[in-house]
Amino acid sequence: LLFGAGIILIGFASASDYKNYDGFKILEVKYAEPRVRRYVQEIEQHLGFMPDFLGENWKLQQAHYFIEKDSVARVSRQLTANNITHRMRDLNQNIFKVRKRRDLENSQVTIQDVNYRYLNYNEQMQFINTVAQQFPNTVKLQKLGNSYEGRSITAVRIGDDGTNKPIVWIDAGIHAREWISYNVALYLIYTIASEPAYRDLLSSVQLVVVPNTNPDGYEYSRTHDRMWRKTRSRFTNSRCGGADANRNYPFYWGTKGVSHSQCSEIYCGTRAQSEPEVLALTNAIQREETRIKGYIALHSYGQEILYPWGHTMRQYPSDVQDLIQVGQAMAAAVKAINNTEYSVVNSGDGLYPAAGASDDWAKSRGIKFSYTIELSPIDDETGFTLPEDRINQVNREAFQAIQVLMIEVKSRF
Ligand code: ARG
Ligand code: ZN
């Protein structure tokens, strides 16, 4: 559909090669009751398979799962038989439609774009190149490696002046469908680099941002399947491809909250670091791990600041109080902007532990303040497809949280 003002509505959902989700449902279970919470924590045993967990609404205490068309009836029967009150919500595929300004396609990508629309991978790379050219003394690009399909995984180093300052490392979008995370990372890069107010902070803390850690998956999610989560690696003799890169890190790899089946959304890969994306990231972090004092993996959705350990339940690092305290300071800074609430919780004690994730691995390498942030939304149907007119606010809120971590690292190291 082409509109007069040069605005094109790309109905990805209606494009013939874009995966159609007719008949799919979002399963909502309210887990406030302890009995139900236990059931949800053991949902894999109850259903005989692990449903695709989307996120949760901790305010309403609801867990959200994505249920394939062919499983809807069976899952519903199973839950009813176990006396689990639930709702099968229709998937509003309209939310998959993304507005795109045609006149911006081949022109300069600006901070305006980062705040008001989702960018494709080339646009993201164009943006960081422009920022690096604009602030050559502050911003340097570093290639960490290539994705499975050969796209460059690039780190943006801000305030790297060759000294031994402590580093805060941020990476975004290891899960392809969590689109808002890429915008948050790009906004962070631009804001820290361009605003004089942060020069002082940058003189004592260096920031490294990897704005797109899973470019193959992201492009696939834009062009073929809005719900794609994994990498795009291919396996011989398998009808399914891709591994969950956030189950592929070399720490308790392949244990809890993972699947060894290639068709699963949480397939942990053939071995730890089998995914070239994970190998590139772990190598790069290890090269300077003694300097890295803060690590955040940006994900969506659920408005949560998660701290380790997450590979199992009820196990915490010895300095967990520091992680909680700084996590709460981050949440408070977010809330101060527009009253948006993030909850600070242990990543393993929630609805499911998950081993082989980047936050646990980073913590295991001695990076003190290691977190996963599940960005907005929490309380609406849009999930991964946060409407573009809300990108800007999430960018600004997440920026505050990251700034708090940088200030904390500056004062402690
Ligand atoms: N939603 C994220 C995932 O499934 C959460 C990871 C949290 N960290 C953890 N170690 N469990 O990958
Ligand atoms: Zn995620």
DSSP 8-state code for residue 259: B
* Sign of the dihedral through C-alpha 402, 147, 177, 352: negative
From the CA of 306, give the closest atom in ligand 1.
Answer: 7
- Give the integer Cα–Cα distance in Å for 355 and 257: 6
Active-site position among 56, 178, 275, 374: 374
Residue 361: pLDDT band (50, 70, 90) is: very high
- The closest of 44, 39, 53, 42 to 81, measured between CA atoms, is 39
> Tell me, what's the pLDDT at 370?
98
**How high does pLDDT run on average in the chain?**
94
Q: What is the pLDDT of residue 4?
A: 36
Atom number, ligand 1, closest to the C-alpha of residue 353: 11
Q: Which of 266, 299, 305 to mutate to test the pocket of ligand 1 (most atoms within 8 A of CB)?
A: 299
Question: Counting atoms of ligand 1 from 1, which one is nearest the CA of 355?
Answer: 10
The string of pLDDT tens digits covering residues 127-156 is 999 999 999 999 999 999 999 999 999 999
| C-alpha to C-alpha distance for 203 and 186, rounded to whole angstroms | 21
Which ligand places an atom closest to the C-alpha of 304?
1
Name the pLDDT band for 107 (thresholds 50, 70, 90): confident
pLDDT given for residue 56 in this prediction: 93
Q: What is the DSSP string of 294-310?
A: EEEEEEESSSEEEES--
Cα 347 to middle of ligand 1, angstroms: 7
Residue length, the chain? 413
Q: Does the structure show a pLDDT above 80 at 15?
A: no
Interface predicted TM-score (ipTM) over 0.90: yes
**pLDDT beyond 80 at 6:** no
Report the separation in Å between the CA atom of 134 and the middle of ligand 2, taken as the mean of its atom positions: 32
Closest ligand to Cα 310: 1
Q: Residue 203 contacts by C-beta under 8 Å, 6 or more apart in sequence?
A: 159
Determine the average pLDDT of the residues in 391-410: 98
Smallest CA separation from ligand 1 atom 7, residue: 347
**Residues linked to residue 304 through DSSP beta bridges, in sequence order:** 343, 374
pLDDT of residue 289: 98
Q: Where are the alpha helices (DSSP H) in 65-134?
A: 72-81, 111-116, 121-134
- 275 in catalytic set: no
- State residue 101's pLDDT score: 60
Determine the distance separating the centroid of ligand 1 and the alpha carbon of 213, expressed in angstroms.
15
User: Which ligand 1 atom sits closest to the C-alpha of 354?
Assistant: 11
pLDDT tens by residue, 237-255: 999 999 999 999 999 999 9
The rounded Å distance from CA 349 to ligand 1 centre is 11
Contact residues of ligand 1, CB 6 A cut-off: 246, 299, 306, 310-311, 347-348, 353-354, 357, 359-360, 372
Tell if the pTM clears 0.80, that is, is over it: yes
Position 123: which residue type?
A: E
| Nearest-angstrom CA–CA distance, 347 and 356 | 12
Mean pLDDT of the 303-309 span: 98
Q: What is the helix (H) or strand (E) element at residue 44, kind and residue range?
A: helix 43-47
The residue to mutate among 246, 256, 258, 264, having the most atoms of ligand 1 within 8 angstroms of its beta carbon, is 246
311 CA from centroid of ligand 2 (Å): 15
